[in-house]
Chains A and B, each alone.
Chain A
Amino acid sequence: MNIKNLILSIWRFIQSTKLTVICLVALMLLTFWGTLYQTHFGLYLSQQRFFHSWIVWISFVPFPGGLLVMWIFSLNLLTNIIWVFKWSWKKSGILIMHWGMMILMVGSGITFYTSEESSLTLKEGEWSNVAESFHLWEVSLWTNPSIEEGREVVGIPMSRLQQGMKLTLASHAVEFEVQQSYDNAVAFRAEMGKHKNLGVTNATGIVQIAGKEPHPEVEQNFPGLELIVKSSNKKSNVLLFGGESQGTQIPCGQDKCWIQLRRKRVQLPFTVRLIDFKKETYTNSSMAKSYESLVEVEEAGVKRESRIWMNNPFRSQGMTLFQSSFTQSEAGESSTFQVVYNPGRMVPYISSIVTGLGMAIHFLILSMRRRKQS
């Protein structure tokens, strides 16, 4: 078999119904394994292992992951629509139906690659223009310690700071060398009066970080980093732990800057201030009956008030803020919003309309043909 024939047979296989069936069976198996895995390891890890991966290792046997299957399935559908189906009026209904499904595939791709879910917690009176990611972490670096004037922050994703990696930030004349990177860590602080000079730099008194077995619920994991930071001939060992509430000062060229390992920040196109949080409870119970937040949103210099409660989110510029939870504590009340950015939000609706239209046209053509025959 020469190369031309080989390519031709691969091309035919990509367009074949056999491949469609293989993809559907693979998706069915992945869903089955994913459901079983979820019971022990949680939803997030299950999604990551079976659906957001190219290859899944079942013991030592490789199996196509959800990402690979969906790409092949989309390619199979697209090639079928363009090259296999005959574009005729008689089959226009079926064709439109398949385009509807293709739109759904594209929509899920947009959601997968671009959507972000994060959370924003504000105490009454506080304001912010950034939300915190649920699962992703970053090393943030800034030079201005005050956030009230608005500070420029450089976000370095954790994928760029894995063990043994080196990273140079030319803009801040600083170089990072990762000694250890832990997905889940435990931090040890110095006892008072002891270990004062262990040669490590940390803002909150951490002198040692050790790895810990990752928790099945990923939100419970706090990562840790052991870094060598080099800047203008100065070298320091820096320890960063995800549970810290303040940044560690490091030299940045002739200047100084702060770094902190924290949940990835998602920039909002507006600033939100929590004016008031209200909670109603059932009589003689601490169970919440309803809760809502009154917020002030400032975008492009214009301020407006909005009420957010269950099933009544705030939407603006592609961002949606849902009322998620609250805290009533010693220092007052705070409200937590789930922030969702999903540019593909409308695609499933469009897809359903197109598919429905395709079905209607198909049945109309069929009934017209039957009438003609009779």
Chain B
Amino acid sequence: MTKIKHKLSTLVFCFVLQACQEDPIYTYTELGGKPSHFKETSNSQREVSLRWETPATWDEQGRSPFLMAKFQLVDGVQVTLSTLAGDGGGLLSNLERWLAQLGVRSDPSRMKEWLSGIESVQMGQWSFQRLDFSYWSPSRESYVIYYGQSIDHVVVVKASGDPVKLNLHQDEFLDFVKSLKEKTGATP
């Protein structure tokens, strides 16, 4: 019995000692990668770096693997900024994808009618098209996307949320798109 008591006391002591130690410095082996077709794209095409002016009421959040920047607006509207290399897979295929994300089945005749009403505006080096998806989903979650095409890349500024709220933010959304500039030169 005394032996068991001694062993238990030692165990408790070791546990307490372990708990009181400061966090150790550790090492690990990090391994990762992208498939070859991802690499080819990034090697052959220039990586685009942007700068912008964030509206005062927008809360800039951390970037994700796909997004250059992400902003949360007070009323639940979310704005994301991303770039695509080359022609970004083409406008039509992107439109199909966004409609699928909204759970809307695209209809060629409606698509034609919608696209005919969309104008291109030159802002900086990009020719932007304003795509308002409330045409497709007026009552539930929708997107307003500025799709800017350049010689070698595409800039996508996407606002998602309730169509009414998206409409309320349209001025600051446009100001944000206007503030986009490509970053050039060496970093300090």
Contact = CB atoms under 8 A, between A and B. Distances in A.
A13 to B, nearest CB: 17
Contacts of A75: 12
Given A189-B51, A202-B188, A153 B66 contact: no
A152 interface: yes
Interface stretch (A1-9, A92-100, A121-129, A346-354): A121-129
A62 interface: no
A196 interface: yes
Contact of A222 (B12, B19, B23, B62): B62
B141 A190 contact: no
A127 B101 contact: no
A200 B30 contact: no
A267 interface: yes
Interface residues of A, number: 65
Nearest to A144: B30
Interface residues of B, number: 53
Interface stretch (B106-114, B123-131, B162-170, B178-186): B178-186
Interface of B: 4-5, 8, 12, 15-16, 18-19, 22-35, 37-38, 51, 61-67, 80, 82, 84, 88, 94, 97, 101-105, 140-141, 156, 158, 181, 183-185, 187-188
23 contacts: A75-B12, A82-B5, A121-B64, A121-B65, A123-B34, A125-B35, A126-B32, A126-B35, A130-B31, A147-B32, A152-B29, A155-B25, A157-B24, A157-B25, A160-B22, A190-B187, A195-B188, A204-B187, A327-B65, A328-B97, A331-B66, A331-B82, A334-B66
Given A190-B187, A198-B188, 8 more contacts: A78-B8, A82-B5, A151-B30, A202-B188, A281-B103, A327-B66, A329-B67, A334-B66
Interface of A: 71, 75, 78, 82, 109, 113, 121, 123, 125-130, 142, 147-148, 150-157, 159-160, 169, 189-193, 195-198, 200, 202-205, 207, 220, 222, 242-243, 245, 265, 267, 271, 281-287, 327-332, 334
